[in-house]
Amino acid sequence: MDKIIVTTLTTGARNNTFNECLASLQALTNINGYQIEILVVENNQQPDDQVKKIISNYDNSDKRVNHLLEPVQGIPSARNAALKYAKQRGYTYLAFIDDDAFASPSWIETLVNANKYSNVASGPQLAIFPEGTSLFYCNATVYQERKLADGAEIKWSATNNVLIDVNFMNINNLSFNPKLINGGEDKELFLRVNKLGGKIIWSESSVVSEYIASSRLSVAWAMRRTFRIGATGFMIESAVRTSFENYITCIIKGLLYLAKGLCLLPYHLISSKSSLLNSLCDLSHGVGFFYGLFSKGRVSKYT
């Protein structure tokens, strides 16, 4: 029987959504020929009592919940701990979902079906906004998923919704880059997967949903996030490009985002289907690329 380990990372900062995440994973549709288990990677120096209490609620559940403490701080270290766990214990697939998200019952089943023809399968993470959220934020692309065709072959994936062939990762000695502690570690890894010939498939029906915290509904947060995405672009692109190609790529992308932000500014100002925040984020994204050229992709804080 093939085994699947579904992983979420937590620090104990989002225990309400973490509990709902685990409940949704227990409700995942069982798949003939597969055993589904859950892994909680706690990224703390010491176990958090509330995290342990939430996990204990599932001691007698249908799908076993495993708990792993990773004391080295940072998302790459926590994800690598999960990857190592899956390799050492002979799991066929490793899936990731965020602790502020919850899965549809068929999530893993549809990812497994997509992964029969690939090495990695990924799907959308849909945003759930607080009641009464302004269209200024609801229409902003920074909170939305990419628009991709079902079954499309893609170059990279995010770890908010992904199923990975563990054997492919093991054979190619692949892991998350610990230097990308401020984000982008998932895109960088999957670009390397793609470069090595790994196939990454988009499954539109493999849906998870994410609660958007009120603290993220601000212009400052959105612009910091897109700036960080641009700034880490230098380190991400270096995974698959020569130094010269990397510089040229980041300059071109920076200029394109700046041009896009300026050219579409009138449209975003007057369209009821868009948001001025889209132009602001494109401008911030473009500036981020140029900052990354000088800082070599280093940013001080993940947002």
Identify which of 5, 1, 8 has the alpha carbon closest to the alpha carbon of residue 169: 5
Q: Examine residue 302 and state whether it is found in any structural domain, yes or no.
A: no
Identify which of 38, 27, 53 has the alpha carbon closest to the alpha carbon of residue 3: 38
How many structural domains are present in the chain?
Answer: 2
Q: Examine residue 147 and state whether it is found in any structural domain, yes or no.
A: yes
Q: Which of 161, 187, 216 is the last residue of a domain?
A: 216
The letter for the amino acid at 108 is I
Q: Which of 201, 216, 231 is the last residue of a domain?
A: 216
CA distance 239 to 202: 22
CA distance 189 to 198: 11
Cβ atoms of 42 and 69 closer than 8 Å:
yes
Q: Examine residue 49 and state whether it is found in any structural domain, yes or no.
A: yes
Residue 146 sits in the same domain as residue 274 = no
Radius of gyration of the chain from its Cα atoms, rounded to whole angstroms: 19
- The domain containing residue 225 runs over which residues? 219-295
- Which contiguous run of DSSP H or E holds residue 98? none
- Which contiguous run of DSSP H or E holds residue 207? none
Residue 181 sits in the same domain as residue 235 = no
CA distance 151 to 275: 29
Residue 140 sits in the same domain as residue 164 = yes
Give how far Cα 222 sits from Cα of 135, 204, 228, 263, 290, Å: 14, 25, 10, 20, 18
CA distance 112 to 209: 18
The stretches in the chain having pLDDT less than 50 are 302-303
The CATH number of whichever domain residue 98 belongs to comes to: 3.90.550.10
Residue 231 sits in the same domain as residue 205 = no
CA distance 33 to 30: 9
Q: Which of 179, 197, 216 is the last residue of a domain?
A: 216
pTM of the model: 0.93
Residue 17 sits in the same domain as residue 32 = yes
Note the pLDDT of residue 301: 56
Note the pLDDT of residue 303: 46
Residue 206 sits in the same domain as residue 273 = no
Residue 280 sits in the same domain as residue 131 = no
Q: Examine residue 261 and state whether it is found in any structural domain, yes or no.
A: yes
Angle (nearest 5°) at CA 299 between 296 and 303: 145
Residue 210 sits in the same domain as residue 243 = no
Secondary structure of 8-52 as H, E, C letters? EEECCCCHHHHHHHHHHHHCCCCCCCEEEEEEEEECCCCCCHHHH
Residue 190 sits in the same domain as residue 234 = no
Q: Which residues have a Cβ under 8 Å from the Cβ of 255 and sit 6 or more positions away? A: 286
Q: Examine residue 229 and state whether it is found in any structural domain, yes or no.
A: yes
Q: Examine residue 153 and state whether it is found in any structural domain, yes or no.
A: yes
